[in-house]
């Protein structure tokens, strides 16, 4: 039996006259809380998502048989959030991990935690569940104290029970009366001392993996309610195309076809069996006549196009001082194209309209905002629409998930009572998902005599990075109905998190600095949130430019960064990655065709720190670059599951390498032309590195910092810097394709 | 027509042009083979036909009479996982996991023909299958682990 690990000096639960008074300090306070005025009149804010859903039983429920269910408004996207949240609950409650269940995002059952995005799940939900679990434990101990007549401080908790010194055990299920957990959380909780942790910083196997490797029902694609029928959508050939005419006579007679649905330019078919729906979709597409009007930009001249768009200028940093004397001025321009989420499984949803109530099973990242959009589109009250999260293929941001849910809702209305499953095709996912926006960066800097950066002037051009629901017009289908909903007005995401300007504020210390975000409201190509938003491009640009400046200063890239970095956690991450890679021992000239690159960032300058060192080889005949080896170091605050963090960082490096080396959405003047894996190639096994290491720096008792988006920016810049090192050429336009490299280094 | 799936005969009432994937998922209610592209470009739908990896999304059932079709469900269960399944669990070789059944079936086909395939052979063999989460390093570790589990079992049998 182990002690609960509560620090005695923090213990101050007074169980008198039925009331519980909490007054203790928290080891998981955020810096903002620590800096708050101690005598402020207002109560301190509740931790994490307890702010939005303060009742403890919104997060944790205990049945009479002792079964414990954890509720989260966040969704499992394959990032392992179910397992991590169960770990924090088990930790603070001293529960039996194997007996815990978790319910994820469901508008009828869980807290509204908005989107599962921005590497926020551990900060928001993990923090809420940490505190809820700790406070539930305190309530259970108080109950046991009343029953046993013993003071609370003589009681311990262990494996789902409160234990008295004489060995008597009070199971949590026996202690929990009906309403005991239906109380509001307090701002502070009696949290365990990190030295006592049993479940945090442990490699507990993911709870969702066994079903996924044995053919279990793991995804919304696998969901088959009784009577389910199959829908397929016929999308327009280009943005904004209008359906002039469609003769549905023949399609209606095809085997299994139950209904052809047309509402304005929204066109779909429902059939009994899936392949019947596919064949009917193809037949319907062949007879649909469209009027096209889209005008897409010249994809070969995207940077100039972006620079010429009307912009709304947002000052991110405006601290420019007079220029230093004798400064060496250097400038550079970087660009990236539109990038696809490219989920392996195209979007899918199942919807059923029963007795005027609509239920939608969806892999959206935000069941509540998607519910709002669907309710508005269907002109139904919100309380008549329920969205239940069910896993999909990895989404990496706002892909077609929400749109597919909207499609399914419309088809469910066309066939009331029947569960209708909508499965997008590969071509639809590629052509209609909202891409990560194309971006442009122009940066100049002044180096002083001592080789330090004296002035920094940075500008980024970008569309918005979120066109997610809420509004009905965020759904594709809603924009094509006979009574259409307008596309919502794009809005920038404000700093400090930012959208196009996310991570445009360098973490380095410069005496003079200006950063401006040219926000571009015009969106000729559909865009929205792609994992890490603008951080990928801004970190690629800043960290490429830091290497260019280091070269101009004659300095080692790692030394040069450390010279401008005073945050001790940042310095430790940089030093760890460099040390573990053997950066100082790397060959100066490199073996032929091999190069070494380094990059670092703190995500959003307020979340996880990540540094990456890598080696690439460049084939001088083909121009093909391949990452050979990568070493990453990450500080994500208190570690919950080290293997989960390693998995996220490994994935970030490989996905970002794919974006960086290969990817751009292609289009002609009217239509998207990258519509499958042949026209939009991504990483395959032949390009996978020989080795990869992730070193995690645990910060016990500090806030969770998330890890899903920490690595993408550093990985891109590390690859670019290594290619520059290998070839002697600096490539500033993404992707760093074999064509571009070959054209530069030519043989 | 009759299809032999996971060592059982199934009477399937479907258009012979129907790709195997839709019969597996719709008629036989098997989850493992996934729809990824319908074009034979990503491998999410990979199953074994007479031991060979096949893109079930582009293989009409008309071609499969009398052939042995094996899906991931035919290898083992959550309670009694096959070596390849045990290896993927132990290596935690998944993020979203959508591509993983296809990866496992392709790897299974390799290990059935050459248990001692080297790392380069494994990488080359897995080339047709796409993973978007970037779980490649783990997938490779899992296949090596499966080799170890199978090799150890063989030695045990021999002894």
How high is the pLDDT of residue A426? 98
Contact of A382 with A358, CB cutoff 8 Å: no
Chain B residues with beta carbon closer than 8 angstroms to that of A210:
78, 81, 89
To 10 degrees, the CA torsion angle through A719, A724, A730, A733?
-20
Domain presence at residue A518: yes
B61, B88: one domain: no
Straight-line distance from the first to the last Cα atom of chain A, in angstroms, rounded to the nearest whole number: 70
Range list of H helices, B4-135: 20-22, 83-90, 100-113, 119-126
Residue that terminates a domain, selected from B45, B71, B97: B71
Residue that terminates a domain, selected from A432, A450, A481: A432
**Residue A17 Cα, gap to closest chain B Cα (Å):** 50
**Residue B53 Cα, gap to closest chain A Cα (Å):** 17
Domain presence at residue B76: no
Residue that terminates a domain, selected from B46, B71, B96: B71
pLDDT value at B11 more than 70: yes
pLDDT tens digits along A675-723: 999 999 999 999 999 999 999 999 999 999 999 999 999 999 999 999 9
Chain A residues with beta carbon closer than 8 angstroms to that of B99:
344, 393
What span, in angstroms and rounded, lies between the C-alpha atoms of A8 and A28? Answer: 17
Query: What is the three-class DSSP state of A261?
Result: strand
Testing the interface with B: which of A214, A254, A436 to mutate, by most B Cβ within 10 A?
A214
Q: Which residues, at least 6 apart from A596, have a Cβ–Cβ distance to it below 8 Å?
A: A583, A586, A590, A613, A614, A615, A721, A722, A725
Contact of A60 with A136, CB cutoff 8 Å: yes
**CB-CB: which of B104, B123, B135 is closest to A651?**
B135
A589, A563: one domain: yes
Testing the interface with A: which of B98, B102, B103, B126 to mutate, by most A Cβ within 10 A?
B98
Q: Does A345 touch chain B (CB under 8 A)?
A: yes
Contact of A129 with A88, CB cutoff 8 Å: yes
Chain-centroid distance, C-alpha A577: 24
Q: Does A225 touch chain B (CB under 8 A)?
A: no
Chain A residues with beta carbon closer than 8 angstroms to that of B133:
78, 394, 651, 655
pLDDT value at A3 more than 60: no
Per the CB < 8 Å rule, is A654 touching B137?
A: yes
Domain presence at residue B93: yes
Residue A17's pLDDT band (boundaries 50, 70, 90)?
very low
Q: Does A394 touch chain B (CB under 8 A)?
A: yes
Rg (CA), chain A: 27
Residue A178's pLDDT band (boundaries 50, 70, 90)?
low
Chain B residues with beta carbon closer than 8 angstroms to that of A214:
32, 72-73, 76-78, 81, 85
Domain presence at residue B105: yes
How high is the pLDDT of residue A326? 76
Contact of A124 with A110, CB cutoff 8 Å: no
What span, in angstroms and rounded, lies between the C-alpha atoms of A353 and A334? Answer: 49
B53, B108: one domain: no
**Mean per-residue pLDDT over chain A, rounded:** 93
B88, B153: one domain: yes
B6, B57: one domain: yes
A177, A268: one domain: no
Number of domains in chain A: 3
Could you write out the DSSP letters of every residue in A506-559? -SS--SSEEEEEEE----SS-B--BTTTTHHHHHHHHHHHHHHHHHHHT--HHH
How high is the pLDDT of residue A747? 62
Cβ neighbour number for residue A202 with a 10 Å cutoff: 16
Testing the interface with B: which of A685, A688, A715 to mutate, by most B Cβ within 10 A?
A685
Contact of A309 with A462, CB cutoff 8 Å: no
Query: What is the three-class DSSP state of B106?
Result: helix
**CB-CB: which of B39, B76, B77 is closest to A676?**
B39
Testing the interface with A: which of B96, B127, B141 to mutate, by most A Cβ within 10 A?
B96
Q: What number is the ipTM of this complex?
A: 0.98
How high is the pLDDT of residue A48? 96
Inter-axis angle of helices A535-553 and A712-727, nearest 10: 40
B64, B89: one domain: no
Chain A residues with beta carbon closer than 8 angstroms to that of B20:
none
Per the CB < 8 Å rule, is A344 touching B136?
A: no
B99 to chain A: nearest residue by CA? A344
A428, A451: one domain: no
Domain presence at residue B107: yes
How high is the pLDDT of residue A41? 52
Domain presence at residue B15: yes
Per the CB < 8 Å rule, is B39 touching A426?
A: yes
B7, B67: one domain: yes
B35, B57: one domain: yes
Query: What is the three-class DSSP state of A460?
Result: strand
Q: CA angle B81-B85-B87, nearest 5°?
A: 115
Chain-centroid distance, C-alpha A63: 33
What span, in angstroms and rounded, lies between the C-alpha atoms of A614 and A667? Answer: 33
Testing the interface with A: which of B32, B133, B144 to mutate, by most A Cβ within 10 A?
B133
B22, B52: one domain: yes
Residue that terminates a domain, selected from B49, B71, B93: B71
pLDDT value at B25 more than 90: yes
> Which residues face A339 on adjacent strands?
A436
Domain presence at residue A310: no
Find residues 554-613 of chain A whose CB sits inside 8 Å of chain B.
Answer: none
Per the CB < 8 Å rule, is A651 touching B95?
A: yes
Per the CB < 8 Å rule, is B92 touching A676?
A: no
Query: What is the three-class DSSP state of A617?
Result: strand
Per the CB < 8 Å rule, is A275 touching B22?
A: yes
Chain A residues with beta carbon closer than 8 angstroms to that of B26:
273-275
pLDDT tens digits along A98-132: 989 999 999 999 999 999 999 999 999 999 999 99
pLDDT tens digits along A437-446: 999 999 999 9
Cβ neighbour number for residue A286 with a 10 Å cutoff: 11
Domain presence at residue B47: yes
* % of chain A at pLDDT higher than 70: 93
Chain B residues with beta carbon closer than 8 angstroms to that of A278:
22, 38
A575, A664: one domain: yes
Domain presence at residue A335: no
B65, B97: one domain: no
Per the CB < 8 Å rule, is A394 touching B96?
A: yes
CATH number for the domain including A346?
Answer: 3.30.365.10
Per the CB < 8 Å rule, is B98 touching A219?
A: yes
Domain presence at residue A388: yes
Residue that terminates a domain, selected from A391, A415, A432: A432
B53, B87: one domain: no
CATH number for the domain including B22?
Answer: 3.10.20.30
Domain presence at residue A711: yes
B138, B106: one domain: yes
**Residue B142 Cα, gap to closest chain A Cα (Å):** 12
CATH number for the domain including B147?
Answer: 1.10.150.120
**CB-CB: which of B73, B127, B137 is closest to A692?**
B137
A461, A354: one domain: no
Q: Does A684 touch chain B (CB under 8 A)?
A: yes
Q: Is the pTM of this model over 0.90?
A: yes
What span, in angstroms and rounded, lies between the C-alpha atoms of A434 and A432? Answer: 6
Residue A639's pLDDT band (boundaries 50, 70, 90)?
very high
Q: Does A226 touch chain B (CB under 8 A)?
A: no
How high is the pLDDT of residue A628? 97
B60, B102: one domain: no
pLDDT value at A67 more than 50: yes
Domain presence at residue A144: yes
How high is the pLDDT of residue B158? 63
CB contact burial A713-724 (16+ within 10 A = b; e otherwise): bbbbbbbbbbbb
Pairing of strands A439-447, A328-336: antiparallel
Domain carrying residue B65: 2-71
Testing the interface with B: which of A80, A82, A205, A213 to mutate, by most B Cβ within 10 A?
A213
A396: left (phi over 0), alpha (psi -120 to 50) or beta: left
Per the CB < 8 Å rule, is A651 touching B129?
A: no
A717, A586: one domain: yes
Per the CB < 8 Å rule, is A650 touching B137?
A: yes
Number of domains in chain B: 2
The DSSP output letter for A68 is E
Domain carrying residue A266: 220-293+341-432
Contact of A574 with A672, CB cutoff 8 Å: no
What span, in angstroms and rounded, lies between the C-alpha atoms of A299 and A335? Answer: 12
> Which residues face A518 on adjacent strands?
A313, A461
Domain presence at residue A528: yes
Per the CB < 8 Å rule, is A651 touching B31?
A: no
Backbone phi, psi, residue A230, to 5°: -115, 125
A424, A507: one domain: no
A593, A623: one domain: yes
Pairing of strands A513-519, A453-462: parallel
Range of weakest confidence among A20-34, A370-384, A677-691: A20-34
pLDDT tens digits along B90-138: 999 999 999 999 999 999 999 999 999 999 999 999 999 999 999 999 9
Domain presence at residue A627: yes
Residue A522's pLDDT band (boundaries 50, 70, 90)?
very high
pLDDT, mean of residues A292-304: 97
**Residue A620 Cα, gap to closest chain B Cα (Å):** 22
A116, A41: one domain: yes
**CB-CB: which of B72, B92, B94 is closest to A215?**
B72
Chain A residues with beta carbon closer than 8 angstroms to that of B92:
205-206, 209, 643, 647
Could you write out the DSSP letters of every residue in A79-137? S-HHHHHHHHHHHHHT--GGGEEEE--BTTTS-----S-TT-HIIIIIHHHHHHHHHHH
Q: Does A272 touch chain B (CB under 8 A)?
A: no
Straight-line distance from the first to the last Cα atom of chain B, in angstroms, rounded to the nearest whole number: 45
pLDDT value at A384 more than 50: yes
B125 to chain A: nearest residue by CA? A685
How high is the pLDDT of residue A6? 32
Per the CB < 8 Å rule, is B42 touching A344?
A: yes
**Residue A197 Cα, gap to closest chain B Cα (Å):** 23
A206 to chain B: nearest residue by CA? B92
Per the CB < 8 Å rule, is B132 touching A218?
A: no
What span, in angstroms and rounded, lies between the C-alpha atoms of A550 and B120? Answer: 37
What are the DSSP E strand ranges found in chain B?
2-5, 8-11, 46-49, 52-55, 68-70
How high is the pLDDT of residue A713? 98
């Amino acid at each position: 039996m182990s002690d609960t690990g509560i620090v005695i000096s923090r213990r101050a639960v007074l169980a008198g006259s039925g009331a519980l008074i909490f007054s203790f300090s928290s080891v998981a306070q955020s810096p903002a809380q620590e800096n708050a005025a101690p005598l402020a009149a207002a109560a301190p804010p509740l931790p994490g998502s307890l702010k939005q859903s303060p009742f403890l039983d919104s997060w944790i429920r205990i049945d009479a048989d002792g079964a414990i269910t954890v509720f989260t408004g966040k969704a499992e996207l394959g990032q392992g959030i179910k397992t991590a949240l169960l770990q924090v609950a088990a930790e603070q409650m001293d529960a039996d991990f194997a007996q815990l269940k978790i319910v994820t995002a469901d508008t009828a059952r869980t807290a509204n935690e908005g989107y599962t995005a921005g590497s926020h799940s551990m900060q928001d939900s993990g923090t809420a569940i940490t505190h809820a679990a700790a406070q539930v434990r305190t309530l259970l101990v108080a109950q046991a104290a009343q029953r046993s007549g013993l003071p609370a401080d003589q009681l311990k908790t262990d494996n789902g029970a409160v234990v008295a010194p004489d060995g008597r055990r009070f199971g949590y299920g026996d202690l929990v009366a009906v309403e005991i957990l239906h109380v509001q959380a307090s701002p502070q909780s009696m949290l365990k001392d990190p030295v006592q942790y049993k479940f945090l910083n442990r490699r507990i196997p993911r709870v969702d993996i066994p079903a996924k490797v044995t053919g279990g029902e793991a995804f919304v694609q696998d969901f088959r309610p009784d009577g389910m029928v199959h829908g397929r959508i016929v999308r327009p050939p280009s943005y904004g195309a209008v359906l002039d005419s469609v003769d549905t006579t023949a399609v209606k007679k095809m085997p299994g076809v139950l209904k052809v649905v047309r509402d304005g330019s929204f066109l779909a078919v429902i059939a009994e069996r899936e392949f019947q729906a596919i064949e009917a979709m193809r037949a319907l597409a062949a007879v649909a006549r469209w009027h096209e009007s889209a005008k897409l930009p010249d994809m070969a001249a995207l940077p100039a196009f972006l620079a010429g768009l009307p912009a709304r200028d947002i000052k991110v940093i405006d601290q420019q001082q007079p220029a230093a004397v004798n400064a060496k001025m250097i400038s550079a321009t970087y660009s990236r194209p539109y990038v696809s989420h490219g989920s392996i499984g195209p979007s899918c949803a199942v919807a059923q309209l029963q007795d005027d109530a609509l239920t939608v099973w969806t892999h959206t990242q935000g069941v509540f905002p998607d519910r709002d959009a669907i309710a508005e589109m269907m002109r139904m009250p919100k309380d008549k629409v329920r969205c239940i999260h069910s896993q999909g293929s990895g989404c990496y941001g706002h892909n077609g998930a929400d749109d597919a849910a909207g499609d399914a809702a419309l088809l469910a209305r066309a066939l009331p009572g029947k569960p209708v499953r909508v499965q997008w095709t590969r071509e639809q996912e590629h052509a209609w998902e909202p891409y990560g926006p194309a971006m442009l960066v122009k940066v100049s800097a002044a180096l002083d005599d001592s080789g330090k950066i004296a002035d920094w002037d940075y500008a980024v051009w970008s569309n918005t990075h979120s066109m997610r629901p809420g509004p009905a017009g965020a759904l594709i289908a809603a924009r094509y109905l006979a009574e259409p909903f307008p596309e919502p007005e794009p809005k920038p995401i404000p700093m400090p998190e930012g959208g196009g300007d996310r991570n445009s504020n360098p973490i380095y210390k410069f005496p003079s600095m200006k950063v401006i975000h040219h926000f571009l409201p015009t969106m000729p190509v559909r865009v929205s949130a792609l994992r890490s938003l603008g951080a990928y491009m801004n970190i690629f640009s800043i960290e490429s430019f830091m290497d260019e400046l280091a070269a101009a200063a004659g300095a080692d890239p790692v030394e040069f960064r450390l010279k401008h970095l005073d945050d001790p956690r940042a310095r430790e991450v940089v030093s760890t990655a460099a040390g573990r890679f053997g950066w100082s021992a790397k060959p100066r000239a490199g073996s032929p065709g091999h190069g070494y690159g380094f990059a670092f960032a703190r995500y959003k300058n307020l979340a996880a720190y990540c540094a990456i060192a890598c080696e690439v080889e460049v084939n001088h005949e083909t121009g093909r670059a391949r990452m050979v080896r990568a070493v990453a170091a990450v500080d994500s605050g208190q570690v919950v599951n080290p293997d989960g963090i390693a998995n996220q960082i490994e994935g970030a490096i490989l996905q970002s390498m794919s974006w960086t080396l290969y990817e751009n959405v292609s289009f002609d003047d009217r239509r998207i032309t990258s519509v499958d894996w042949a026209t939009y190639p991504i990483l395959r096994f032949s390009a996978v590195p020989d080795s990869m290491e992730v070193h995690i720096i645990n910060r016990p008792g500090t806030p969770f910092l998330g890890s899903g988006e920490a690595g993408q920016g550093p990985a891109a810049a590390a690859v670019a810097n290594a290619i520059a090192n290998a070839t002697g050429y600096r490539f500033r336009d993404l992707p760093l394709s074999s064509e571009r490299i070959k054209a530069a280094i030519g043989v | 027509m009759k299809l032999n799936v996971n060592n059982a005969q199934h009477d399937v009432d479907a258009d012979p042009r129907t790709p195997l994937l839709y019969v597996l998922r719709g008629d036989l209610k098997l989850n493992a083979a996934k729809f990824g592209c319908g074009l034979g470009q990503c491998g999410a739908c990979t199953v074994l036909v007479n031991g060979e990896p096949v893109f079930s999304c582009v293989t009409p059932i008309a071609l499969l009479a009398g052939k042995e079709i094996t899906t991931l469900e035919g290898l083992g269960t959550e309670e009694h996982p096959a070596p390849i399944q045990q290896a993927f669990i132990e290596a935690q070789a998944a993020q979203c996991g959508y591509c993983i059944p296809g990866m496992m079936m392709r790897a299974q086909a390799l290990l059935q023909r050459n248990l001692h395939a080297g790392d380069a052979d494994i990488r080359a063999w897995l080339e047709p299958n796409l993973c978007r989460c970037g779980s490649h390093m783990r997938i490779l570790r899992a296949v090596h682990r499966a080799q170890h589990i199978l090799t150890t079992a063989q030695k045990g049998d021999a002894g």
